[in-house]
Structure 1
Amino acid sequence: MNTLYDVETQVPAFIHITEAKINDVKAMDVIPYEYGSFYIVDRAYNDYHRIYKIHMMDSFFVVRAKTNIKAKVLKWKRRLPKNIQSDCEIELTDFYTQNHTLKRFVW
């Protein structure tokens, strides 16, 4: 079950139920994204093309990076609370993302 939770009304705004054998990232294609919103997703939803769609809508996302990410840090936020490991703007540098115009977003 994939749920989009509205923090203002404190109720689910969207629920998508799939079979267990369906990959979670496919739910990102049916989520109704909104401009200026924040999306917090699990690493299972880490798909650069789909995340870039969120970025292009002037929305924000939080996702744990994969361990094999290839990126160059462009800006690094220095003063962070103890429970936040990193807040930076990156440029993806691997061959696949460079050829698909995925360049910059906050990770």
Structure 2
Amino acid sequence: MKLNHKDLLFNQIYPRLVENSVARGVFLESLEPYILSERIGCLTAPVMRDLLSYFQENGMMDSVEGCLVHMDITNLDIQQVVQMCWDNQLYDAMIYVFNSGMNDYISPMEV
């Protein structure tokens, strides 16, 4: 079962939580189990950017890698992700991002 009401959660509630750093942190950390269980597979670009930045700032790089390999990469800032993965030696996540990106870029007719 997919998490319902994502539009409400990410477009209306999250922007209000950003104003409070503690609430923002709790919210972002609470997303991890939903991502890992694939109940959430796609986040809005601002939430995804904040999630990756928050995890990096708090030394939670295992969480970054775990979440990245369960995400739809279309809302990622690829440059941010690749640089973060390279800087922190998250090679599995970097390979996942490259492979997923190439699968989206190359159509089945070209193969």
TM-score bracket relative to the smaller structure: 0.3 to 0.5
* More relative contact order, 1 or 2 (CA 8 Å, 6+ apart): 2
Higher percent of residues as strand: 1
Higher percent of residues as helix: 2
Q: TM-score normalized by structure 2? A: 0.38
